[in-house]
Amino acid sequence: MTQQLLTGWGMTAATRAEVCRPASADELSAALASGRAAGRGVIPRGLGRAYGDAAQNAGGTVIDLTGLNRVHSFDEGDPATGRAATITVDAGISLDALMRMLVPLGYFVPVTPGTRYVTVGGAIGSDIHGKGHHLEGSFCQHVDSMTLVLASGQSRLVSADDPDTAEAFWATAGGMGLTGIVLSATVRLRRIASAFLRVDTERADNLDDAMQRMSERDGEYRYSAAWIDSLSTGSVMGRAVLTRGDFAAVDELPVKLRKAPLAYGPSPKLAAPPWVPEGLLRTSTVRAFNEVWFRKAPRQHTGYESIPYFFHPLDGVLEWNRIYGRSGFIQYQFAVPLGAEQTVRDALGQLAAARCPSFLTVLKRFGPGNPGPLSFPIPGWTLTVDVPAALPGLGPLLDGLDERVVDAGGRVYLSKDSRLRPDALAAMYPRLGEWRAARAALDPDGVLHSDLSRRLGLT
Amino acid sequence: MNDALGGVQTALVLGGTSELALATLAALDLRPGAKVVLAGRDEDAMKQIRVPTSGGGSAEVTTLKWDAAHPASGPQVVAAASAALGDLDLVLVAAGILGDQARAEVDVEHCADILTVNLVGVAAAMLPAAERLRHQGHGTIIVFSSVAGLRGRRANYVYGASKAGLDALAEGVQSSLAGSGAHLLVVRPGFVRTKMTSHMESAPFATTPDVVGAAVADAVRKGREAIHVPRLLGPVFAGFRLLPRPVFRRLPG
């Protein structure tokens, strides 16, 4: 156990906690018991990729799950009956480790976010989504069952298919680690013939064009997302590069890839320097980057891309979060229902007007949501924007956007949040009461707490 | 909890009618629904105070009777505020009296009053507050010191001595909090036009509570450890401290 200052990936609002890294289920129980006794609550933490304060617990205990990273069993399923392959793993294993193991065998994780450096436990606690959400939903929809260690120390196997435990399962899906600590989970896998994706790249002239293209043809692609030039204004506001595709069959691959179609070798190429000048990311540099990024994209093109290139481009730069400098950054991600396109348009317009230097602005069309009361995705649009925390006037700007999002029936993603106004939470998550009741049943003494839960009055 | 943009949800003001503290709260981003405890002597005045939040609302304000002239009440006021607020995101240490230098030189009781209120009484609340913040693993203490504490001047050395003591205390607490997740900011204003100084002639570099508040809010967001307001007083007083005594004595005031 050590005292550590922790932040999320955005490197804002550091707080101190007692951090334990158990290496077994028994050590986990002991850490939970001592955290409970210390009286300032307990929260699990994985690889710290939540942008805000979801895996921090000021003055309390943080249980780092990355020491629990074993694979328990693997079932290759039965393609004849349609029974999916599954893998049962400790919650602390990363999607990176799973991919290294599974891709060469012809399997892929059901959902991957923009980074593979997340744990299975984190994927459940955030109910992560990826480029495939419009067809395949979010991570927890691919979890058969999980073992939840409750704050009392008891463990419970919960499953969406078991009427007795479905409520606990869905409260944990996107439950931000506040219902119990996921010890292990059985996850359904996707069969892949190759480790390469056939990707159609196309440019959209503005936001309306991008949305129209996505609305019309997203259904033809398993994976789809659009990068947006956040600084473009006027008639080209929201100009975008759409990249959509699916895993390729072996016989369609270019000849040189066919020899080893399941070859998978992700490796970070660069690390961000340990010290970055303040203000490296300013409007002018991002404008130049965006211009190049947009121009270099072909108007229309079909090509073959590796898994890291298509899904995890930023993982090529270790600790890229440091490029925002000492004051850190905020990732603002919201979702609004179909029909609320104007909210997305206004948000982009306001961010461009504030000269917000976001070089990672992503638009995605969500499919149906799931029964998780705190699960983020709702059918509609989600926009993700990176903003340096030092941007003048950022607080009021985002507070204003929150209001628009609420008016449209939308919400922000708690795993990204570090500044939401607490009074907006209930409007964004109308089933909050239901979640609180389920959490109260699982953690009646209110042991599980995080900076996020304190800040937003979540529990 | 403090948020990523310096938003504050709970604040304790020691010296609840302090214009500098209230201007600082107004300049900070108190989140809608924020709770504030004002602790001070004049409950009637404190009850009239409205503390604005972002979005045009008002914080939920409660008042606590507290007199820094009674140091024994320091731990109690912090405990009572914690009971009302939960975690303390922000503690503003702003209690103090200017006193009357001429009187203090001949009236030992008055001299002791100034030192007791400004140093002993404030320390008795500030140290338990620092302990709270260390325990909770986050939070910021803002200590209103003064440039008067940087060198003993003929015109106000009793007040200056109390602020010199406070300044040293604050710096020590700041060091003790390093790595704890909690922070302490020392603010050294020059002459500020407030009700405390309304009877005095304005001094060079005079400023207003709003200017001080804005500078303090900015320093909190940037995680600064000490500021002078106006900023120029930093180098000016650094220079004063190097002046040989015979020269320093000849300066006006």
Check CB contact of A38 with chain B, cutoff 8 Å: no
Pairing status of strand A15-20 against strand A61-64: parallel
How crowded is the C-beta side of B179, counted as CA atoms within 13 Å?
A: 6
The dihedrals phi and psi of A207, each to the nearest 5 degrees, come to -60, -45
User: Rounded to whole angstroms, how far apart are CA atoms A288 and B139?
Assistant: 39
- 0.90 exceeded by pTM: yes
pLDDT of residue A274: 64
Sheet of A86-90: strand order equals A71-75, A86-90, A181-188, A143-149, A155-159
User: Rounded to whole angstroms, how far apart are CA atoms B153 and B137?
Assistant: 39
Matching residue, tokens 């919650």: A91
How many beta carbons lie within 10 A of that of residue A359, not counting itself?
A: 19
Q: Which residues of A touch B140 (CB under 8 A)?
A: none
User: Rounded to whole angstroms, how far apart are CA atoms B148 and A262?
Assistant: 73
Matching residue, tokens 């206004």: A346
CB contact under 8 A, B4 and A422: no
| Nearest CA-CA distance, residue B12 and chain A, Å | 17
Nearest beta carbon to residue A423 from set B2, B32, B87: B32
What angle (nearest 5°) sits at the alpha carbon of residue A72, between those of residues A69 and A78? Answer: 130
pLDDT of residue B116: 98
Nearest beta carbon to residue A423 from set B3, B33, B138: B33
Best of A321, A412, A449, A451 to mutate (most B CBs within 10 Å, chain B): A451
CB contact under 8 A, A422 and B179: no
How many beta carbons lie within 10 A of that of residue A53, not counting itself?
A: 32
Contact A398, A380 (CB under 8 A): no
| Nearest CA-CA distance, residue B164 and chain A, Å | 30
Contact B104, B111 (CB under 8 A): yes
How crowded is the C-beta side of A447, counted as CA atoms within 13 Å?
A: 26
Average pLDDT over residues A87-105: 97
Check CB contact of A330 with chain B, cutoff 8 Å: yes
Sheet of A61-64: strand order equals A2-6, A15-20, A61-64, A42-45
Best of B3, B133, B136 to mutate (most A CBs within 10 Å, chain A): B3
Q: Which residues of A touch B179 (CB under 8 A)?
A: 3, 5, 16
Best of B58, B138, B177 to mutate (most A CBs within 10 Å, chain A): B138
CB contact under 8 A, A58 and B32: no
pLDDT digits (tens, 9 = 90+) for A250-291: 999 999 999 999 999 887 666 766 666 666 667 788 888 888
Distance of alpha carbon B80 from its chain centroid, rounded?
20
Nearest beta carbon to residue A12 from set B4, B32, B138: B4
In this structure, of A116-125, A326-335, B35-44, the range with the lowest mean pLDDT score is A326-335
Taking CA atoms, A142 is separated from A86, A121, A416, A441, in Å, by: 9, 13, 22, 25
Nearest beta carbon to residue B5 from set A419, A422, A423: A419
Low-confidence ranges of chain B (pLDDT < 50): none
DSSP A209-239: HHHHHHHHHGGG-SEEEEEE-TT--GGGTT-
By C-alpha distance, the chain A residue nearest B132 is: A59
pLDDT of residue A392: 86
**Among A142, A115, A130, which Cα is nearest to A365's?**
A130
Nearest-10 crossing angle of helices A207-217, A341-353: 150
DSSP A356-380: ---S--EEEEE----S-TT----SE
Q: Both tokens of residue A33?
A: 């018991």
Q: Report ipTM for this prediction.
A: 0.91
Question: Which residues fall within 8 angstroms of residue A388, CB to CB, at 6 or more apart?
Answer: A281, A324, A325, A327, A328, A329, A330, A357
Length of chain B: 253
Residues of B engaging A, defined by a Cβ cutoff of 8 Å: 1-7, 9, 29, 31-33, 54-55, 86-87, 135-138, 179-182, 222
CB burial readout B61-84, b (16+ within 10 A) else e: bbbbebebeebebbebbbebbbee
Between A79 and A3, the more confident residue is: A3
By C-alpha distance, the chain A residue nearest B182 is: A15
Check CB contact of A60 with chain B, cutoff 8 Å: yes
Matching residue, tokens 């898994």: A307
pLDDT of residue B241: 85
By C-alpha distance, the chain A residue nearest B2 is: A13
| Nearest CA-CA distance, residue B229 and chain A, Å | 21
Burial class (CB in 10 A: 0-12, 13-18, 19+), A440: middle
Q: Both tokens of residue A264?
A: 């998978």
Check CB contact of A12 with chain B, cutoff 8 Å: yes
Pairing status of strand B182-189 against strand B226-229: parallel
pLDDT of residue A273: 67
Length of chain A: 459
How would you write A393-455 as a 3-class SS string?
CHHHHHHHHHHHHHHCCCEECCCCCCCCCHHHHHHHCCCHHHHHHHHHHHCCCCCECCHHHHH
**Which residues of B participate in catalysis according to the annotation?**
159
pLDDT of residue A276: 63
pLDDT of residue A319: 79
Q: Both tokens of residue B183?
A: 């922070």
pLDDT digits (tens, 9 = 90+) for A284-322: 888 888 888 888 888 889 999 999 999 998 887 777 888
By C-alpha distance, the chain A residue nearest B31 is: A421
Contact A188, A50 (CB under 8 A): no
Distance of alpha carbon B158 from its chain centroid, rounded?
18
| Contact residues, A window 211-230, toward B, CB-based 8 Å cutoff | none
Q: Is the dihedral of CA B83, B89, B91, B92 positive or negative?
A: negative
Considering chain B, what is the average pLDDT of its residues? 95
pLDDT of residue A382: 98
Nearest beta carbon to residue A419 from set B7, B87, B181: B7
CB contact under 8 A, B1 and A13: yes
What's the one-letter identity of residue B113? Answer: D
What's the one-letter identity of residue A161? Answer: D
User: Rounded to whole angstroms, how far apart are CA atoms B208 and B50?
Assistant: 19
How many beta carbons lie within 10 A of that of residue B169, not counting itself?
A: 20
pLDDT of residue A278: 60
Check CB contact of A386 with chain B, cutoff 8 Å: no
The dihedrals phi and psi of A194, each to the nearest 5 degrees, come to -145, 165
In this structure, of A213-217, A286-290, A440-444, B207-211, the range with the lowest mean pLDDT score is A286-290
CB contact under 8 A, B4 and A5: no
Average pLDDT over residues A209-218: 97
